[in-house]
Amino acid sequence: MWSFFHKLSSPKYYYEWSGKWIPWLGGITILLTALGVYWGLVIAPTDYQQGESYRIIFIHVPAAWMSMFIYMVMAVAGFIALVWKTKISEIVVSECAVIGAVFTALALITGMLWGKPTWGTYWQWDARLTSELILLFLYLGVISIHSAIEDPRIAARAASVLAIVGIINIPIIHYSVTWWNSLHQPNMELVSESPSMHPSMLIPLLIMAIAFKVYFGWLLFIRVRNEIISRERSTNWVKKLILAS
């Protein structure tokens, strides 16, 4: 296991290994997304309280989950980058920031669209919404550091520190509806004797959640591979790769 992770820290090995997974991840993403969207928009019944407007949860909830999941991946990669100083982990930090910012923005926008018919307003300075907005700013902070510092290794170390410090916001987002009075719906009980949602709604939601995770892996592989080529363009193996193509 440790031997595999050691090899994976090599840009050349990572490039070759990840390339084998990209077609599979792309295909799985398309299939799961098509299934989840059709099930959620066509097969799932109308909610007796919110009507058809509730269907935005099939995008909003997985996007919100992904916004936190990607940040944790970024923070772990940042820790590895600081301790072991591997190039791949440094690249993962920067690429996770871009992808995570998009998912966080998607969660906020869909949440606002959901909030209008549910709460009567697009925005409230609710604990969950505010902490999610702070998460977006943390992602943008990491992106800004990489844009402002020319040396990618120095930028990676500074961004990694911010990513690790910002991890404190993740439990705040998750438990905000428990710790403070909130307009936001409580956290869903997915694994219990009486789950919060009926299976006809829960199953497509979980399918979309898996689809988003697979999509994240697919997109991260592509973006990291592109950055590897950019950083390693002066090496012999990249020159051979370019000539071969």
> Average pLDDT of 84-101?
97
Average pLDDT of the residues of the chain: 92
The answer to whether 120 touches 53, Cβ cutoff 8 Å, is no
| Range of weakest confidence among 139-148, 158-167, 169-178, 215-224 | 169-178
pLDDT band (50, 70, 90) for residue 71: very high
Which H or E element spans position 80? Answer: helix 57-84
Question: Would you state the pLDDT for residue 187?
Answer: 72
Q: Is 166 helix (H, G, I), strand (E, B) or coil?
A: helix
Question: Would you state the pLDDT for residue 192?
Answer: 57
Question: Would you state the pLDDT for residue 183?
Answer: 65
Query: What are 7-19's pLDDT values in tens digits?
Result: 788 999 999 999 9
CA-to-CA dists, residue 48 to 62, 79, 112, angstroms? 22, 46, 21
| Range of weakest confidence among 108-112, 170-174, 193-197, 211-215 | 193-197
Contacts of 148 (CB under 8 A, 6+ apart): 155
- Locate the domains of the chain by residue range: 21-186+195-244
Question: Would you state the pLDDT for residue 166?
Answer: 98
Calpha distance 81→77 (Å, rounded): 6
